Amino acid sequence: MSVVNRDQDQESDQPRPQPRLGRQASWFEGEDEAQAERGGLFVGVVVDRALDAVLTYRAPQRLVASIQLGQRVRVPLGRNGVVTGYCVSVDLLPPEDLPPSKIKDVVEILDAVPLIDARMLELTRWMAGYYMCSWGQALDAVVPAGVRNQAGTRVGTFLVVRPEARQAFDDETLQKTLTAKQTAAIEALCRSDELLTVSDVCRRAKCGAGVIKTLRDDGLIHTVKRRLSLAASRNDEPAAGEPTAAPKPPPAMTPEQAAAMAALTPALDGDAFAPFVIFGVTGSGKTEVYLTAIERTVARGREAIVLVPEISLTPQTIRRFRRRFRRVAVLHSHLSDVERHRHWQSIAQGEIDVVVGARSAIFAPTRRLGLIVVDEEHESTFKQETVPRYHARDVAVKRAQLENTPVLLGSATPSLETWRNAELGRYARISMPSRVEGRPMPAVEIIDLRNEKHLTGGLSETLRLAMHQALDDDGQVILLLNRRGYNTFVICPKCGQVVKCRHCDVAATYHKNRHMLICHTCDAERACPPACPSCQAPVLHYGGIGTERLEREIRMEFPFHESRRMDSDTMRRHGSHEVTLAAFKSGDVKILLGTQMIAKGLDFPNVTLVGVVDADVALHLPDFRAAERTFQLVAQVAGRTGRGNRPGRVLVQSFCPEHPAIANAARHDYEGFVRYELPTREAPLASPYGRIVRLVARGKDEARVEKYLNELAKTLRAKAPPGVRFWGPSPTPILKIREEFRFHLQIRCASAAPLRTMLRDLPLHPPPNKVDLAVDVDPISML
């Protein structure tokens, strides 16, 4: 057991330092004067509600000595009773415009040690302003639940000998007044270096609890409460079976890697904000550059945070960091509250050099941050789709700015926002255009599905043939199809209606293994209807190919080659991911098929063929980033082959092979794609040329939702500064989700400031009852 922090002492006789208050009570009058004369400090408190104000409370005398910035406190709030909030400021005087009679007292301090520091307070305040949420909501995103409820700790009661009694015991005057058992108990307490509980003392002094009660009643000893960590052992790290290999000497650098390090080194050794974009093709060795940069950071006694998309947080990735660094914390989304709390504590304690994690790892409470790395910077999973709707990459840049550190944004296919920032010189660009060991980029062939005769089970003849060849040559095959399920729609041939989810305006997907229709939006299931729900026609047509159907096709076509499907249906159990990848790596499995989770950061030297079954999946979605996402996915997958000594082949099936997203991805030509895509964004003020705020109203009463958003749009339009443009209001692409109708309004402007001023008093136009309004700054999802 170890004491992790000091909690409220119950009967501590330590004198409390008196607050030194420069009393300038001249403007206190009458009864307010009495209030003010009670002394204390005035603290700004942000409550964990959607309440957009800092409320002032008074810390009474008994709390004055312990109140600190970043602690959580319990405060009375209106008629709601007592609520929890964060202390964000401590002042000698309350704000002048606040009648002192309204100021209430802080009831209790929850954390002996503040959960966050001043820099984190500043970061969250920025988030609240930028993403238009309350400060309290931003703080809630930063401090994990496990830390808030101190998961894995408990409060223990310990015995302490009062100083007078101890003195008397040391002088051996006390002993005369005590029985033998009592003396033994006091002696046990005085001799122990650590705090002892009642049962500890009983064991050591071989006495009963009654003896201790007598000593307490006589005032010779008293009790003290301390919060303890339950398991002091930290042997959950590293993962089982994972030898903590001695740090390996880094491999020799390629000229490009060396050049990248040369560009980074001054920033890594300095103390200034320095944003970089590392634009490196897949296989160019970006990760080695990150590792070397982190090494340099750690060597000067600073910590590094590495952000990686959740799906890339594979054992392979984690191993790479553990091999190189001793004190690594990995923060993935499946940690328990206790594990998360323990990691938070060790990071805050300075016991960790490198934090690797997904989105929320950007809030890791490092002590002396020296570097932030955001790998796969373009990934949309860095955007949180619930309040606060922050983008971890952008928060990373802001945090780097506040903490004066370099930040590295790495990608083979940078987001257009980041690319433009580099073009404008806001970010320094480091290019790594060639692969390590001079390996060529794989040849990518596009299969024009319009010319393919037989397209059974999603596979063209060309792709089938290529698979046979690859497998006959003892190579391995990866097939990507970014659609789960067996059939992606069920349609009535008579009336043309698609069977929809009962609660959403979405076509239901047929899952054969469960023989059910499942909604991919709300996960609701429904039985396969015996007849058309609209016109009662008895026969329904099942169409559209998902991974489950593709798997069946592969099993039939290649019965003697082991295949494995990897999507969120087959990877439900924790660890199955790892098992499947291990089976593929060992060569037992020859064909790996699945959704985009197979496209990330995996390195299989024996893969000689990668097939993209339907490159058009995301291309026609009603979203200005549809082409960008299609390009990114195809380009990422194309980089997954030819990493070993054998040359790789990539086949991409598409109905629109000449689309620049697909054609440029096939040529591994990022800049070619950018030259096409960027100009299409400029006129409509889409990102990166325009800043976008998206307002989404939703509710069960469709007319009510629509009416509210229309009225809101009207009032906003009336006071819109020049240069602000409105898109909508219109129904969202998915009109209904979980019985709620949704309408949205996009507001775009070349710069952020007019948007901000216009929306500053959005709270003056709140939605009516049973309608909710969501404000999404820099939206990623448009559905």
Site string for Zn ion, 518-547 (x = CB under 5 A): -x-xx-x-------x-xx-x----------
- CA separation for the pair 70, 133 (Å, rounded): 19
**Restricting to residues 716-775, which ones interact with DNA according to CB under 7 A?**
768-770
Query: Which residue stretch of 295-303, 497-505, 712-720, 773-781 sits at the interface with Zn ion (rule: CB under 5 A)?
Result: 497-505
Shortest Cβ 73–DNA spacing (Å): 12
Cα–Cα distance, 418 to 278 (Å, whole number): 10
Using an 8 Å Cβ cutoff, are 42 and 75 in contact?
Answer: no
- Residue 61 in the binding site for Zn ion (CB under 5 A): no
User: In the bound complex, what is the minimum distance in angstroms from residue 99's beta carbon to DNA?
Assistant: 9
Place of tokens 């401590």: 90
Contact segment (CB under 7 A) with DNA among 98-106, 476-484, 511-519, 737-745 equals 98-106
Supply the minimum distance, in Å, between the C-beta of residue 145 and DNA: 16
Q: How far is CA 291 from CA 177, 260, 308, 392, 430, in A?
A: 67, 12, 13, 20, 16
CB of 539 to DNA, least distance (A): 44
Using CA atoms, how far apart are residues 85 and 77, in angstroms rounded to an integer? 10
Read off the DSSP letter of residue 180: H
Of the candidate residues 34, 92, 98, 231, the single one contacting DNA (CB under 7 A): 98
Helix (H) or strand (E) holding 480: strand 476-480
Please, which residue, 78 or 163, has the CB nearer to DNA?
78
Q: Are residues 781 and 708 in contact, defined by beta-carbon separation less than 8 angstroms?
A: no
- Alpha-carbon gap, residue 509 to 525, rounded angstroms: 9
In angstroms, the CA 696 to CA 689 distance is: 22
Q: What is the identity of the amino acid at 569?
A: D
Indicate whether 104 belongs to the interface with DNA (CB under 7 A). Answer: yes
Residue with Cβ nearer DNA (648 or 699)? 699
Q: Which does 495 bind (CB under 5 to 8 A by kind): Zn ion, DNA, none?
A: Zn ion
To the question of whether residue 492 is assigned a binding role by annotation, the answer is yes
Q: Minimum distance between the CB of residue 540 and Zn ion, rounded to whole angstroms?
A: 8
Interface pick for DNA out of 6, 8, 49, 60 (rule CB under 7 A):
49
Picked from Zn ion, DNA, none, the partner binding residue 503 (CB below 5 to 8 A depending on kind) is Zn ion
Minimal distance in Å, beta carbon 191 to DNA? 48
Give the sign of the dihedral formed by CA 569, CA 573, CA 576, CA 577: positive
Q: Is 76 in the site for DNA (CB under 7 A)?
A: yes
Partner from Zn ion, DNA, none contacting 98, C-beta within 5 to 8 A by type: DNA
Please identify which residue in 15, 22, 78, 163 interacts with DNA, judged by CB under 7 A: 78
Total residue count of the chain as it appears in this document? 783
53 touches DNA (CB under 7 A):
yes
Closest residue by Cα to residue 121 from 161, 163, 68, 77: 68
Rounded to whole angstroms, how far apart are CA atoms 697 and 743?
A: 5
**Nearer of residues 180 and 531 to Zn ion, judged by Cβ:** 531
Q: Closer CB to DNA, residue 98 or residue 230? A: 98
- Least CB distance from residue 77 to DNA, whole Å? 5
Segment 239 to 258, residues that bind DNA, using CB under 7 A: none
Cβ proximity to DNA, 95 vs 301, nearer residue: 95
Q: Which of 62, 102, 300, 541 binds DNA (CB under 7 A)?
A: 102
Peptide bond into 266 cis (omega under 30): no
Minimum CB distance to DNA, residue 715 (Å): 15
Amino acid residing at 139: L
The answer to whether residue 735 forms part of the interface with Zn ion (CB under 5 A) is no
Q: Considering only 79-87, 341-349, 467-475, 754-762, which stretch makes contact with DNA by CB under 7 A?
A: 79-87
Smallest distance from the beta carbon of 288 to DNA, in angstroms? 46
Long-range contacts of 206-210 (CB under 8 A, 24+ apart): 206/181, 207/181, 207/182, 208/181
Minimum Å distance from CB 105 to DNA?
8
Under the criterion CB under 5 A, does residue 503 sit at the interface with Zn ion? yes
CA 655 vs CA 614, 615, 616, 658, 664: distances in Å: 8, 8, 7, 9, 15
Does residue 535 touch DNA according to CB under 7 A? Answer: no
Report the 3 state secondary structure along 6-20: CCCCCCCCCCCCCCC
Find the shortest distance in angstroms from Cβ 526 to Zn ion.
Answer: 9
CA atoms within 13 A on the CB side of 400: 28
The span of 52-60, 199-207, 484-492, 640-648 binding DNA (CB under 7 A) equals 52-60
Q: Decide: is 56 part of the binding site for DNA (CB under 7 A).
A: yes
Cβ distance to DNA smaller for residue 90 or 402: 90
Angle at CA of residue 204, ends 200 and 209, nearest 5°: 60
588 contacts 562 by C-beta, under 8 angstroms: yes
The answer to whether the beta carbons of residues 113 and 341 sit under 8 Å apart is: no
Q: What is the DSSP string of 304-342?
A: EEEE--GGG--HHHHHHHHHH-SSEEEE-TT--HHHHHH
* Contact status, residue 394 vs residue 778, Cβ threshold 8 Å: yes
Interface with DNA, residue 60, by CB under 7 A: no
Burial 358-379 (b: 16+ CB within 10 A, else e): bbbbbbbbbeebbbbbbbbbbb
* Residue 225 binding target from Zn ion, DNA, none, CB below 5 to 8 Å by type: none
Comparing CB distances to DNA, the nearer of 43 and 224 is 43
Contact between 565 and 548 under an 8 Å Cβ cutoff? The reply is: yes
The one of Zn ion, DNA, none whose footprint includes residue 514, by CB under 5 to 8 A per kind, is none
CB of 78 to DNA, least distance (A): 3
* Binding partner of residue 79 among Zn ion, DNA, none, CB cut-off 5 to 8 Å per kind: DNA
Q: Which does 758 bind (CB under 5 to 8 A by kind): Zn ion, DNA, none?
A: none
In the complex, least distance from residue 54 CB atom to DNA, rounded to whole angstroms: 7
Using the minimum distance from each CB to DNA, give the nearer residue, 76 or 672: 76
| In the complex, least distance from residue 769 CB atom to Zn ion, rounded to whole angstroms | 25
Q: In this chain, which stretch among 31-39, 102-110, 474-482, 713-721 interacts with DNA, using CB under 7 A? A: 102-110
Q: For DNA, which is the closer residue by CB, 42 or 584?
A: 42
Q: Kindly write down the DSSP assignment for every residue of 63-86, as one continuous string.
A: HHTT--TT-EEEEE-GGG-EEEEE
Does the annotation place 504 within a ligand binding site?
A: yes
- Using CB under 7 A as the binding rule, whether residue 103 contacts DNA is answered as yes
The footprint of DNA on this chain (CB under 7 A) covers a number of residues equal to 23
207 is in an annotated binding site: no
Q: What are the distances in angstroms from CA 78 to CA 50, 99, 102, 644?
A: 14, 16, 11, 66
Cα 187 to Cα 165: distance, rounded to the nearest angstrom = 11
Q: Which does 56 bind (CB under 5 to 8 A by kind): DNA, Zn ion, none?
A: DNA
Residue 231: contacted member of DNA, Zn ion, none (CB under 5 to 8 Å, by partner type): none
Backbone angles phi, psi at 362, to 5 degrees: -65, -20
495 is in an annotated binding site: yes
36 binds DNA (CB under 7 A): no
Asked if 407 contacts 340 with a C-beta cutoff of 8 angstroms, the reply is no
User: Which span (59-67, 491-499, 509-517, 658-666) binds Zn ion, by CB under 5 A?
Assistant: 491-499
Neighbouring-strand partners of residue 84: 74
Contact set with DNA (CB under 7 A) = 49-51, 53, 55-58, 75-81, 95, 98, 102-104, 768-770
Binding residues for Zn(2+): 492, 495, 501, 504, 519, 522, 532, 535
Question: Which residues sit at the interface with Zn ion, rule CB under 5 A?
Answer: 492, 494-495, 501, 503-504, 519, 521-522, 524, 532, 534-535, 537
